[in-house]
Amino acid sequence: MASTKEKVKIVCDNRKARHEYNFLEVFEAGIELKGTEVKSLRAGKGNLQDAYAKIEDGQMILYNMHISPYKMGNRFNHDPKRPRRLLLHKSEIIKLYSKVREKGLTLVPTKVYFNRSWIKVEIALAQGKKLYDKRADMISKTVRRETERSLKEMNR
């Protein structure tokens, strides 16, 4: 019997976003790329460090995603930080636009990955964390880690 699992290869991940934001909803979007950008991403040369998404004129645009120039690309290479259009259904864009207009919500790309041969971007509708939220997360993570460590020692 053939496997129904999709082959997913993560190109880049935005771990800093998990620390800075609370994710309310996550969406999968396609991304409009040029040929040398695809080849560069296949080589793992992508970075979502300061990337963000905006909705302008009914389209979602991804800004500040860095894709390194392809080594063999010569004059056909792309601008590393050019704005890239994200491909979503119109109803999803309208839904996100109405939620982003609310106070304190933003669109943050969390990871870029290959879903079979298609390049996808995971976009999260996020709300910024306050300093005390970050501290509470660190405390809960430390407590969880210590309990796991003590349980591991008890099982020895």
Q: Is position 151 within any domain?
A: no
Into how many domains does the chain fold?
Answer: 1
Q: Which two tokens stand for residue 121?
A: 């971007």
Q: Is position 141 within any domain?
A: no
* Structural contact between residues 49 and 82, judged by C-beta atoms closer than 8 angstroms: no
| Residue 68: domain span | 8-129
Q: Is position 147 within any domain?
A: no
Q: Is position 153 within any domain?
A: no
Q: Which two tokens stand for residue 22?
A: 């609370």
First to last CA, the chain: 41
Q: Is position 139 within any domain?
A: no
Assign residue 96 the CATH number of its domain: 2.40.280.10
| Rounded Cα–Cα distance for residues 57 and 15 (Å) | 30
Instruction: Tell whether the model's pLDDT for residue 2 goes beyond 60.
Output: no
C-alpha dihedral over 107, 112, 116, 119, to 10 degrees?
A: 70
Q: Is position 146 within any domain?
A: no
pLDDT tens digits, 45-100: 888 988 999 999 989 999 999 888 888 777 777 788 889 999 999 999 999 998 88
C-alpha dihedral over 67, 71, 75, 81, to 10 degrees?
A: 10
Q: Is position 135 within any domain?
A: no
* pLDDT at site 110: 93
Q: What is the mean pLDDT of residues 133-137?
A: 79
Q: Is position 25 within any domain?
A: yes
